[in-house]
Amino acid sequence: MLLLATLLRQIYDEVQILPYSGPKLTEVLALSATSELSYLTKLTALHEKLGLAASLLKDAKLGLCKQPLCAEAQRLVSVGDDVFGRPQQLAPAAAQAWMQIQKEASKQGITLQLVSAYRSIDYQAEIIARKLSAGEALSDILKVSAAPGFSEHHTGNAVDVTTEGVEVLDEAFDETECFRWLLAYAGKFGFVLTYPRDNPFGIAYEPWHWCYRPGSV
């Protein structure tokens, strides 16, 4: 226990948790020192359970991890159900932008559908655990699913989207009129494509994943 406490203290001292790598939205609040340590403690436990390297959290601060740590959104609002009928939530500013872009897409004859929005670190861990149980290698999983604490979905600013006539979360989405429309108009609503081909994060190409980052557009 003493060793674990020392490790957690080291991680807390060296790792800066980013509420969001884009603009500092009031809806995504910075963590206090106490809650930040608690968050890291929970992440450490989840990573250990999934078999993730203990050095992953420390590497984030040292620049050896390609993705920044993301804190969970402190405020969330409903954005309705996704294509599977599951209720979804986003941070307030992102939710407003999502409603606006979906409305504009509809006005222009584009069907823009929601597949996934906010995810907690626990839910992210469940996704990876299910894939591990299905026999997938952890190294392969991390190419398509971020480790808990590293997903933009935690911030409440990221959405996975789809349209009619295409499988969800499939690269074929980039052949649709909806994707071409997003490339042309998403920036006007503050959304950017986080994982284009050959992205610096080491994540596979995801034409369906867009994040609300108005300051970087």
Indicate the domain borders of the chain: 2-216
At 146-190, the pLDDT tens digits run 999 999 999 999 999 999 999 999 999 999 999 999 999 999 999
| CA angle (73, 46, 23) in 5-degree steps | 25
Second-level CATH architecture of 2-216: 2-Layer Sandwich (3.30)
Assigned token pair, 206: 């995801």
The pLDDT value given to residue 32: 54
The pLDDT value given to residue 84: 97
Of 55-59, 80-84, 120-124, 147-151, least confident by mean pLDDT is 55-59
Tell whether pTM > 0.85.
Answer: no
